[in-house]
Chain A
């Protein structure tokens, strides 16, 4: 099972942002998205994850195979670390979150309420959620924000083990995760060309 994205166009705020994006990922591969701020990385990831419809083109991997991690971690501050993970494990129908606690170095924090975690610890908890989803493709939006160097390395290892186990990862990041095998895709070259502005020529998109 692989991810194949063909001729994908996505829009933000009603305006086409990216067009003709094509790439594919096979089991065990990772792809890192690069590009300046506002070039459409988040939009592309949300489109691949099935949260927003594509303007054109297709993503032929069902959303059921994708685990999405956004800027926001979806952590409930009044629940403990273990409770937060247990909830997602139950939602995804995977039994155990113990291993995820160990691998993201959260064991010592398991009983602590999420509101008492530091930003980096919260991020680790958010990323630990990926491990309990049991889904092959990880779609990660800036996963390393607020992580320290040691945690970045830790997470890099987690991603590598996921890849070695036949998983895939699609990552938008500026920081080197220590994945030399990952391919890099620069989104700047897929910027959508908008039609010329002229009197009396606009269409359904009002451009």
Chain B
């Protein structure tokens, strides 16, 4: 288990692993939005919570198809499926590795993004907290989508079509936490719901992911 995690992390960090692509995308988005919307701090502050969350969503999406595709192509997935590790665990570890290489960096860099978009200072704490609670769900749901499309040629676009609707509840509650935080309102309800979705997804979706992975491998 640990060895699978370290292998995945090592692969992501080595040349061609694609680590940092999501991060760069996030940064570019935070630069493009003011260029498109205009530099007025009031406008940017208003839309910052939504942009930061939508950006995190898209940045996560970018690296999803790598979760299984490479292992599928070189045959590792077949071998892992016959190895003495339950496939549910493999799937969870893969999601964890994806979160560590994509979700966690997004959380860490998000204050800088908030700065670029004039996020009100009261909202920083909630931005970091909501992303910390929400991005694991993005990785787990994305892993399910990646497992669904693993055998398909040109599955990348289909993957986005399948996964983005599944991201809707996470997005709504996550962005709601930040925008309520920015207005100084109580955030406990959306925060609890966000945490609930993450907990449910982390607990249940690996079973669905493993199931579809087995179907795709046969």
Contacts and interface: CB of A to CB of B under 8 A. Distances in A.
Direct A/B contact, Cβ within 8 angstroms:
yes
Interface of A: 46, 49-53, 63-64, 66-68, 70-79, 83, 86-88, 90-93, 129
Interface in B141-163: none
Given A51-B218, A53-B218, A91-B84, A72 B75 contact: yes
26 contacts: A49-B82, A50-B82, A51-B81, A51-B82, A53-B218, A64-B84, A67-B82, A68-B78, A72-B73, A72-B74, A73-B75, A74-B71, A74-B74, A74-B75, A74-B78, A77-B74, A78-B15, A78-B16, A78-B17, A79-B14, A83-B7, A83-B10, A86-B3, A87-B4, A87-B7, A92-B84
B74 A91 contact: no
Contacts of B76: 74-76
Contact of B80 (A52, A66, A83, A91): A91
B18 to A, nearest CB: 11
Given A51-B217, A51-B218, A91-B85, A74 B79 contact: yes
A190 B134 CA distance: 54
Given A68-B78, A68-B79, A76 B16 contact: no
A86 B7 CA distance: 10
B35 interface: no
B105 to A, nearest CB: 20
B11 interface: yes
Contacts of A77: 74
Contact of A51 (B10, B74, B78, B84): B78
Contacts of B84: 64, 91-93
A11 to B, nearest CB: 10
A63 B14 contact: no
A76 B218 contact: no
B83 interface: yes
A71 B74 CA distance: 9
B74 A76 contact: yes
